[in-house]
Structure formats: C-alpha cells, structure tokens
Amino acid sequence: MTRNAQQSNRLSQGGRIDRSRQLSFTFNGKRYQGHAGDTLASALLANGVDVVNRSFKYSRPRGIVAAGAEEPNAVVQLGKTEAGQVPNVRATQQALYDGLEARSTNGWPNVQRDLMGLVGKLGGQFMPPGFYYKTFMAPASMWMTYEKYIRKSAGLGRSPMENDPDSYDHLHQHCDVLVVGAGPAGLAAALAAARSGARVILADEQEEMGGSLLDSRERLDDQPADTWVAETLKALASLDNVTLLARTTANGYHDHHFVTLHERRTEHLADTAPLKDGRRQVRSRLHRVRAGRVVLATGAHERPLVYAGNDVPGNLLAGAVSTYIRRYGVVPGQKLVLSTSNDHAYRAALDWVESGREVVAIADARANPDGELVEQARA
C-alpha cells in the first residue's frame, strides 16, 4: 500500500474512513487534514504528530498509546470560543469534524519545547511526591501565587469562563434487557434477547457498533467480521423492540439494575450543538434506565508491558496498532519492534507488514511460541 502525500502516515486505501470527505482541523494552532470517520487521535497520527501532551510534574513527552477509552496520554482541550471550552477529552474518543480546534493541556511555551521538561530532567531528584505541599508552605502570603503556577503545571484542562450555549436533557427508560457493549458478545446477546420478544437497549461508547470486529481478521458464520456486524445491526434496527445507542457510555450501575447512560448526541458534529428546524439540538443526554436484566459485554483492555521509557512517544499497544491500520488506514510509524507474551499481538505485526512497513524484530517472552499467527509472522 502507498501513502497519502498530505498525511504522511495515511495509507492510500483501507480502513473504514470516508476518503471522499476531507476535514480540516487545528491542533496547537497548526492546521491539519483528516477524513470523516477519523478520531482526533487517528488524524494526528496520520499527520505524523508524535508528541500530543506532557506529563504531570516532570513534563515528559507523551504520545498516543491506545485507540479507545483506555488512552492515558492524549488528553486535550477542545473549543473555539471561551463558552465552548471542553477540558480533558481523550483524543481517541473524539470524532473528527470540520473546524475542530484542539490544544494540549500541558507544555510551556509549547508541547514540543517545554521548559518544565528541562526542570524535570535537571531537578527531578528535588521533586519527590508531595514536594509542593512542603516546599511552598512559606511565606503563607505567597501561597495564592504558588498555587496558580502549580495548577498550571498539573497538565489539566481549564473550564469555560462563559455560559454554556448548549442544552442537555435526560430520559427515564425501561427495558427487559440492557446490553452494554456492542462487540461480538453484545451484538449476539442483544439479537437473541430481541428475537425472544424482550425489549432491548443496546449501548456502545464508540462511533460505530461492532467493537473489536471492526478491525478483525476473523470470520463469523463463514463471512468477514465486518459483514457479520453490518447484517446483525441491520437485523436489530428492523425490530421495533430494540433501541440502539451509539456514542453512549454506561457510567453507573446501581441497585436493582438501575443504570445511567451518557449519550453524546452532537459532540461529533461541531464545537457547539448545531441548529435543527431553527432550534439548537441537545448536545448530550443522560438516560436513566431500569432494566430487568443487564448484560455487560464491554470486552477488555490490553495490558501494557512495563519497561524503561514505555511512557514516551512511539510506544503503542499492539491492539491499537491494528486498529489504526485496519480501521483508520493509518500506520503510526516506519519501523516496528513488537514485544509480546501472547499470540494476539502477532496480528499487529502482520498488519504492519501488509501496510508496506518493516518489522524489525518480535520479542516474545515465551520460550517456544507457536500457533497459526506465530507461523504466519515467521513466514
């Protein structure tokens, strides 16, 4: 596969993005291009942006690690206007839209050349945990001055200083079965429950339902995984007793199967909720759901390996590598060194080679790894 000339890490084909719709966005004041279907994270990687933030206290450079809600580093500030400021948004969960403006939450004077990073290197030994509660205790009259700069170096976003122009609402809902997560297990559970006549709500936090199947090499019912997802969703959408909620996160599971869901209704469209029929749409909605049964099909997060330097840009989870290549058509680098303790990570190596890049080495912690994926990688 060849690369897109404007986006150095974008493949010329592949992925689930809409290449006919090019979107413009800015990050830290610089303009970039992406496509409909991108997240902010995938668009940044496509444009070769490695450093997206700085760590708390020592201001070490931070790059994108994951591709979903587990992302620890790419936490950004969104908003064009003061009233539209949204702090601490994961770039991996923010859908790209035309005109999006994002900034790093830490780094002065900028994220590439951060003076606090120099302080962290030279004076790190003088900044043990909690040092700011002791070092800046006196004189007491200076605390409000100290606090301002300590807060600034914390790497957290800032809240808007003007009134929010958007509106929000909530709904009370009842169902027989609430399924949280629309991956293979969640889709199968929702379809089985719906066909039995139960009232079903299926909620998933991603832009598209399908979970890991959207970038999978697997086949289900003798067809490609994404085809199975499309047919299952079509079957669910045709049933009157099913409610599908994409971009919806379950954020509370309480007594008696009472679950709260946060639905992001227009945050993927614009900085502020757009108008419809002369009225501003609801930006987000809280669903208060009382369910007869709850199915938690949320999948699992990949556990990273621990080694020196694993916190700096250039270190990604193996699953994230496959997701960016297969779902977004983005190869996040030139050469790959893969470190693993299981067969699953070998999929990343295979995807990397198929994209036309070089796999330098695969370091497997197991003495004698074998299996179909291992053999394919060796070949």
Q: How far apart are CA 4 and CA 18, in angstroms?
A: 14
359, pLDDT greater than 80: yes
pLDDT at 120 over 70: no
Of the ranges 34-38, 272-276, 291-295, 317-321, which one carries the lowest mean pLDDT score?
272-276
Q: Which range has the worst mean pLDDT, 111-115, 239-243, 284-288, 310-314?
A: 111-115
pLDDT computed for residue 132 by the predictor = 64
The reply to whether 18-152 and 167-296 are identical in fold is no
- pLDDT level of residue 248 (50, 70, 90 thresholds): very high
If one compares 217 and 324, the residue with the highest pLDDT of the two is: 324
**Which pTM was predicted?**
0.91
Residue 133 clears pLDDT 90, i.e. is over it: no
Q: Enter the DSSP assignment of 351.
A: H
Greater pLDDT, 108 or 261: 261
Residue 290 confidence (pLDDT): 98
Mean pLDDT confidence for 33-45: 98
Task: List the strands of the sheet with 86-90, edge to edge.
Answer: 30-36, 18-27, 100-104, 75-78, 86-90
**Residue 2: which pLDDT band, with cuts at 50, 70 and 90?**
very low
Give the architecture-level CATH label for domain 167-296. Answer: 3-Layer(bba) Sandwich (3.50)
Phi, psi angles (nearest 5°) of residue 316: -130, 155
Tell me: the pLDDT tens digits for 280-308? 889 999 999 999 999 999 999 999 999 89
Average pLDDT of the chain is 91
What does the pLDDT look like over 64-107, one tens digit per residue?
999 999 999 999 999 999 988 999 999 999 999 999 999 999 88
pLDDT bracket for residue 131 (50, 70, 90): low
Query: Is the CATH number of domain 18-152 3.10.20.440?
Result: yes
More confident residue, 338 or 147: 338
Mention every residue, 6+ apart, whose C-beta is less than 8 A from residue 123: none
What residue spans define the domains of the chain? 18-152, 167-296, 334-378
More reliable by pLDDT, 271 or 100: 100
- Residue pair 299/319 in contact (Cβ under 8 Å)? The answer is no
Q: Measuring CA to CA, how many Å separate 194 from each of 236, 238, 338?
A: 8, 11, 42
